[in-house]
Amino acid sequence: MVLAGKVKELTDCIWSSKAYRPDGIILGADIWNDIQKEDEYVTAKYPFECMNVKTHGLRKGELVTVTAGSGVGKSSFCRHIALSLLEQKYTVGYIALEESVKRSALGIMGVHLKKPIHLTREGVDDKQLHAIFSTTIGNGNFYLYNHFGSTVADNLLSKIRYLAKACSVDWVILDHLHMALSAL
């Protein structure tokens, strides 16, 4: 620009240039208007009142991770949450990578019955089994993922996306995060 005799234009460019900031980097002072607005959340209750007191329930858009040692009851905990969400009239997508679809279904139905029907159906006739099925996993608001033992990460993410978009599920429960992450 100097050689072309455009010294004034060069000076203007230098003095009027803006500081470079990559996309997504935001100055905290610039978000006051967002801070002032109260957020509204869709909140569901946990099936355990003590957790509702401490966490104010489950909120859409948040990730809840449950950790504990082997055999402590993480999958059982997930079943209780799934059933509670169904009882609150939400639509649930349930992905259990450590068990079959049938085992997941019987587990949730068993939570409702307060009996381990995945181990024995003693004392539960077909009519009662069908009634429980119809009010829980067979009510039209419950989707399961039949993984066939596959946990390929891209495939799993596309299934979760499908549940959220095409099936309009309110909540996705992924039981065994470690198995899903190990596929990455």
69-111 pLDDT, tens digit per residue, is 888 999 999 999 999 999 999 999 999 988 999 999 999 999 9
For the chain, domain boundaries: 64-182
Which residue is associated with the tokens 């059933």? 83
What is the amino acid identity at position 141? N
The one-letter amino acid at 165? K
**Architecture in CATH for domain 64-182:** 3-Layer(aba) Sandwich (3.40)
Distance, C-alpha 129 to centroid of its chain: 28
* 54: amino acid identity, one letter: K
- What's residue 98's pLDDT? 86
Task: Tell me the one-letter amino acid at 127.
Answer: K
Side-chain half-sphere CA neighbours of 50 within 13 A? 0
Question: 13-27: per-residue pLDDT in tens?
Answer: 888 877 788 889 999
CB 105 within 8 A of CB 96: no
Element (H, E) at 58: strand 58-59
Alpha helices in the chain (DSSP H): 7-16, 32-36, 49-55, 74-87, 101-113, 126-135, 153-165, 177-182
Over residues 121-145, the mean pLDDT reads 95
Helices (H) and strands (E) in the chain, counts: 8, 5
| pTM exceeding 0.75 | yes
